[in-house]
């Protein structure tokens, strides 16, 4: 992919951080609703909580998770960070892919089941526990991803080291100068 211009990269970064950290907030909200519904003695409160979860599930989970994933892909492929060059980026990609699929497929179907059962006056059963566990795991996961996005730990992957060595040997040979890294170009 062609590298992004500076304004395009900045715009993509704003979209990416808004979507992905918004996803963390959304999941925390779902967790609070799930705990409220599972813990309350009031059917009216549980119904309100599951119906609210369904509104978030129907309107926000798919667009927000896909936007976080796709904007992350654009930033990876369109900047010197690359998708498989730095361990923190590659880890984020696989974790986000897994949580996107889990959110779109499993989380939403649990929410739909709980909302339908409570509206029909039937017991929600073990789905109530699932709707506490799933958002708990997701919240911890997105906090972890946010931390590694900011700290950028673990260095280069094997592929990243190979690409760096190839670039270094050709550019040092030509100009005697050091090759630009992803972090150098961030400061540009």
φ, ψ for residue 4, nearest 5 deg: -75, 145
* Dist. CA 2–CA 160, nearest whole Å: 18
Nearer Cβ to ligand HEM (55/186)? 186
Within 10 angstroms of residue 57's Cβ, the number of other Cβ atoms is: 23
Contact 84, 164 (CB under 8 A): no
15, 93, 112, 167: residue in contact with ligand HEM (rule CB under 6 A): 93
- Contact flags string 6-45 toward ligand HEM, x per CB under 6 A: ---x---x--xx--xx-xx---------------------
State the residue number with the nearest CB to ligand HEM: 72
Distance of CA 165 to the CA centre of its chain: 31
Based on the shown chain and the rule CB under 6 A, indicate whether residue 151 belongs to the binding site for ligand HEM.
no
Based on the shown chain and the rule CB under 6 A, indicate whether residue 142 belongs to the binding site for ligand HEM.
yes
Angle of CA points 45, 48, 51, to nearest 5°? 145
Interface with ligand HEM (CB under 6 A): 9, 13, 16-17, 20-21, 23-24, 68-69, 72-73, 75-76, 79, 81, 89, 92-93, 96, 142, 145-146, 149-150, 186
């Amino acid at each position: 992919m062609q590298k992004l211009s500076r304004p395009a990269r900045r715009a993509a970064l704003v979209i990416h951080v808004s979507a992905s950290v918004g996803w963390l907030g959304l999941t925390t909200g779902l967790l609070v609703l799930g705990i409220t519904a599972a813990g309350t003695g009031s059917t009216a409160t549980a119904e309100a909580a599951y119906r609210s979860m369904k509104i978030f599930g129907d309107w926000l989970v798919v667009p927000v998770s896909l936007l976080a994933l796709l904007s992350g892909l654009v930033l990876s492929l369109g900047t010197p960070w690359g998708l498989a060059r730095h361990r923190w980026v590659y880890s984020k990609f696989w974790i986000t892919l897994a949580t996107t699929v889990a959110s779109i497929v499993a989380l939403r179907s649990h929410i739909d089941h709980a909302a339908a059962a409570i509206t029909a006056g039937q017991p929600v059963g073990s789905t109530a526990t699932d709707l506490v566990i799933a958002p708990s795991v997701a919240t911890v996961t997105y906090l972890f991803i946010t931390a590694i996005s900011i700290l950028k730990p673990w260095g280069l992957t094997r592929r990243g080291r190979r690409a760096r060595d190839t670039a270094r040997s050709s550019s040092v040979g030509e100009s005697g100068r050091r090759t630009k890294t992803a972090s150098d170009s961030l400061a540009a």
